[in-house]
Homo-oligomer: A and B are copies of this chain.
Amino acid sequence: MAGIADVARAAGVSKSTASRALTGAGYVSEETRTRVQKAAADLGYVPTTSAVNLVTGRTQTVGVVVPTLDRWFFAHVLEGIQDALLERRYDLALYGAQPDSGARRQMFEHFLARKRFDGLIAVGIEPSAHELERLVEFGKPVVSVGGYDVGTNAVSIDDRAAGRIATEHLLGLGHREITFVGGDPDGRRTSYGDRQRLDGYLAAMHDAGLAASARHSPSEVTMPGGYGAAVELLGDRQTRPTAIVGVCDEVAVGAVIAARRLGIRVPDQFSVVGIDDHAYAEMFSLTTLQQKPHQQGRAAVQLLMWQLDDPDAPTHRIYESSPLIVRSSTAAIDDAASAIVGVGR
């Protein structure tokens, strides 16, 4: 309700002095500063953001682009971003839309063009060429988290390494028939990180001389998706793998449930390793690679703020660590044939 003119009047100074006193820029005597601040507090003065934005060009808002919210990773990254922004008194404008949707296109063309934000955090999206073009065109700093590296700031785990380590954990336990579960066959709808995990798996298999038996069982990247894929995968006794690595914990947990339903004991007869350390991982004793999306969200904000404070600052690429958490969904293979193969270890 009260404007800066009211504050100025109450403190007996001019608008410009009041502004200087409150923003902290320029010369103001200590005495008048406190007087103005008191007047502002008394009147409950809150600067009108659009007025500030109009003249300074700063919106005190960051935009966040997310493909979906009902996946654990995205929800937690968003919460991390939110928390970090709250501390810095920044607002958060959410731009959510599924890739390849009409809504997504509309968002890029109209909403982002409004530039109602100082910077952008793109989480887990692999922008199309056109979208990428627009993104840089904005001229605002962009940081990507858990997704495609847009050549600017980015934070994520090393998904490729994660896929490799998960696979090597199983190899180390003597497994040879290992299937990778999750993602779609052609990989076009798969997110960048998920694709990297698959690549890590493939590399590990190749290095172990098992390239020929590397297999990919596509599925929706959800618990029911993993469940469905595993039911199919485990159905045939002949071709059944001794272990799988799930593209993420949701898929891995789905596979564990499927195995249990089919009466296959985990980990005695079937090992499962996931990636994420999802809230469900503990409950299913899932061996997994831990990542902390909340922290990644915070880190993304940190990066963005640096860039905002100094536009010429160099950009950074942060890889968060993703330690292997061994629980009890993985065990050394124990059937006779494999025991011979695995004797070396």
Contact = CB atoms under 8 A, between A and B. Distances in A.
Contacts of A110: 89
Interface residues of A, number: 51
B82 A94 contact: yes
Contacts of A107: 86
Contacts of A261: 260
Interface string A21-62: 000000000000000000000000010111101100001010
Contacts of A89: 110-111
Contact of A69 (B49, B69, B227, B282): B69
A111 B110 CA distance: 25
Interface stretch (A72-80, A120-128, A163-171, A192-200): A72-80
A113 interface: yes
A337 interface: no
A82 B64 CA distance: 13
B69 A75 contact: yes
How many copies of this chain are found per oligomer? 2
Contact of A223 (B49, B50, B260, B280): B280
Given A107-B86, A114-B49, A283-B227, A69 B59 contact: no
Interface string A97-115: 1000001001100110111
Interface string A155-198: 00000000000000000000000000000000000000000000
A53, A68, A115 interface centre (most CB from chain B within 10 Å): A53
A279 interface: yes
A240 interface: no
B59 A68 contact: no
A135 interface: no
Interface of A: 46, 48-51, 53-54, 59, 61, 64, 68-70, 72, 75-76, 78-79, 82-83, 86-87, 89, 91-97, 103, 106-107, 110-111, 113-116, 222-224, 227, 254, 257, 260-261, 279-280, 282-283
Given A46-B115, A93-B93, 6 more contacts: A64-B94, A69-B76, A86-B106, A89-B110, A222-B279, A224-B280
